[in-house]
């Protein structure tokens, strides 16, 4: 039971770290599933754990499961697979050496169609990512790599918007020049 509860808490940490690491394989409902199972098992096995405290433990278990019910309703509403506001990958451009990819994502910032460019390592358990460019009320630009450590973001008509130099080992942008 403690393991399931701990796994649910660990998912909260994973979601917070997912800004930097690509841990998108963890489903958002996993934490609630772990917590519900832990609280239900507490109620089921309460008489075996502590015979004298079985009724208070079963009452606590039922109360905690009831508290999770509104969270389930909210989580099921937010995890709709047909959600049009969820980020959608528009293009993936690998660097010349293949160590990183520029991922262009289209998303909705409140109601406005927006776009962002992320620099990502290829798939892996702890593949990192960092934000390179983001603009609200904007279509997605053309992204390409002039060399292994430079990423260029162009408007659709070919004018350069931003040229960024990055360190692929540390996954950090080291220099950015912006054109108007």
Residues 52 and 94 in one domain: no
Residues 74 and 103 in one domain: no
State pLDDT tens for residues 123-175.
Answer: 776 788 888 888 887 788 999 999 989 999 888 777 778 888 998 888 888 88
Residues 162 and 112 in one domain: yes
- Write down which residue in 57, 78, 99 finishes a domain: 78
What's the domain count of the chain?
2
Q: Which residue has the higher pLDDT, 13 or 114?
A: 114
- Write down which residue in 78, 111, 135 finishes a domain: 78
Strands across the sheet containing 101-109: 88-94, 101-109, 112-120, 129-135
Domain interval for residue 126? 88-178
Helix axes 54-78, 30-49, angle to 10 degrees: 170
pTM (two decimals): 0.62
Residues 95 and 174 in one domain: yes
User: Among residues of the chain, what percentage have pLDDT more than 90?
Assistant: 12
d(C-alpha 22, C-alpha 142), whole Å: 23
- Write down which residue in 78, 110, 134 finishes a domain: 78
Residue 99 forms part of a structural domain: yes
DSSP 128: B
Residues 134 and 163 in one domain: yes
């Amino acid at each position: 039971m403690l393991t399931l509860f701990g796994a649910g808490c660990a998912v909260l940490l994973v979601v917070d770290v997912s800004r930097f690491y690509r841990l998108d394989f963890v489903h958002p409902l996993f934490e609630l599933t772990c917590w519900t199972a832990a609280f239900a098992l507490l109620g089921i096995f309460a008489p075996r754990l502590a015979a004298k405290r079985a009724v208070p433990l079963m009452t606590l278990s039922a109360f905690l499961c009831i508290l999770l019910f509104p969270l389930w309703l909210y989580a099921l509403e937010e995890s709709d697979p047909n959600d049009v506001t969820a980020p959608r990958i528009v293009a993936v451009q690998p660097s010349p050496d293949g160590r990183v990819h520029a991922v262009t994502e289209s998303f909705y910032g409140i109601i406005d169609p927006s776009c962002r460019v992320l620099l990502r390592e290829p798939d892996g358990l702890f593949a990192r990512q960092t934000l390179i460019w983001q603009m609200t009320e904007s279509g997605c630009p053309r992204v390409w790599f002039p060399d292994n450590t430079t990423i260029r973001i162009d408007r659709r008509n070919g004018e350069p918007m931003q040229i960024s130099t990055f360190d692929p080992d540390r996954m950090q942008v080291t220099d950015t020049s912006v054109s108007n």
